[in-house]
């Protein structure tokens, strides 16, 4: 609960300017592309868990899907509501943590999204995966991203010369992060094997794993590039995201998993 409270306070403090900070991020365009690519071609009931200011909920609502946006931060939900209202979009908003989806009935969603490291930040990813499995319908999809432990630890602790902290982060997967001028919070980052095992243990069948940011990295700023060059970079990253040999080069792992047949019998 203490970790959740700190996380709530962290995102509440960023909520008023979060959309401006992340507007038109190159990385989110890539995530949106793959999310839409893997969605079934019909109208869906989707839970965007930890959906923030609606970066993915809004385009999904535009496509006519029934979207529930949940977040631990009321500030994020309030700002998501404002952004959606401007576009006259219907989205339902619920304040909750992904580790406790008790406000939702079992087998009530076709898809659950956990984008931009929600499983890393939630404090108990195993409990979160169990809850997600419960609320998904038969053959329901889980789509999301987690941080690559090696890349983040190497590009932060090791880059600063803190070898001891690097070794500690690599051994446990736990790191304390702070950004955006707000007080920080704890995160648990994944190895590729840990991600695969966690999904399997939570009764999910992996459909695909992609290295969505294995070229320029997640936080690459391409705003100064021409539109033609941005499009070429986008196409190149889409291509390389699918190359298994470069999967571990990506700052984040993108995964698509299906609720397994075994869990449907529980």
The residues spanned by each domain of the chain are 2-148+174-259
Helices 125-135 + 192-201 axis angle, to 10? 50
15: closest CA among 129, 95, 117? 95
CATH 3.30.420.40 fits 2-148+174-259, yes or no: no
| Tens digit of pLDDT at every position of the chain (266 positions) | 566 666 656 665 665 555 454 557 899 999 999 999 999 999 999 999 999 999 999 999 999 999 999 999 999 899 999 999 999 999 999 999 999 999 999 999 999 999 999 999 999 999 999 999 999 999 999 999 999 999 999 999 999 999 999 999 999 999 998 766 667 788 999 999 999 999 999 999 999 999 999 999 998 989 899 999 999 999 999 999 999 999 999 999 999 999 987 765 44
Q: Give the span between the Cα atoms of 238 and 3, in whole angstroms.
A: 35
Within a 13 Å sphere around the CA of 21, how many CA atoms are in the beta-carbon half?
Answer: 13
**pTM of the predicted protein model:** 0.92
The residues near 246 (Cβ < 8 Å, ≥ 6 apart) are 211, 214, 240
CA 261 to chain centre: 24
């Amino acid at each position: 609960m203490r970790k959740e409270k700190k996380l709530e306070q962290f995102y509440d403090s960023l909520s008023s300017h979060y959309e401006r900070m992340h507007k038109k991020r190159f990385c989110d365009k890539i995530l949106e592309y793959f999310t839409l690519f893997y969605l079934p071609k019909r109208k869906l009931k989707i839970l965007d868990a930890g959906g923030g200011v609606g970066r993915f909920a809004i385009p999904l609502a535009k496509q006519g899907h029934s979207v529930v946006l949940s977040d631990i931060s009321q500030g994020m939900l309030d700002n998501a509501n404002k952004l959606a209202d401007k576009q006259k979009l219907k989205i339902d908003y619920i304040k909750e943590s992904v580790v406790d989806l008790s406000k939702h009935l079992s087998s009530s969603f076709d898809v659950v999204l956990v984008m931009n490291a929600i499983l890393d930040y939630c404090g108990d990813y195993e409990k979160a995966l169990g809850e997600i499995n419960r609320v998904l319908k038969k053959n329901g999809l889980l789509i999301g991203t987690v941080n690559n432990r090696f890349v983040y630890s190497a590009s932060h602790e090791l880059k600063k010369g803190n070898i001891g902290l690097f070794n500690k982060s690599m051994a446990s997967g736990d790191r304390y992060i702070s950004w955006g001028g707000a007080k920080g919070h704890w995160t648990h980052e994944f190895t590729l094997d840990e991600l695969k095992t966690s999904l399997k243990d939570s009764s999910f069948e992996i459909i695909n794993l992609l290295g969505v940011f294995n070229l320029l990295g997640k936080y690459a700023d391409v705003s100064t590039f021409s539109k033609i060059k941005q499009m070429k970079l986008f196409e190149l990253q889409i291509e390389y995201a699918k190359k298994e040999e470069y999967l571990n080069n990506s700052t984040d792992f993108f995964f698509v998993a299906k609720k397994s047949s075994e869990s449907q019998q529980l």
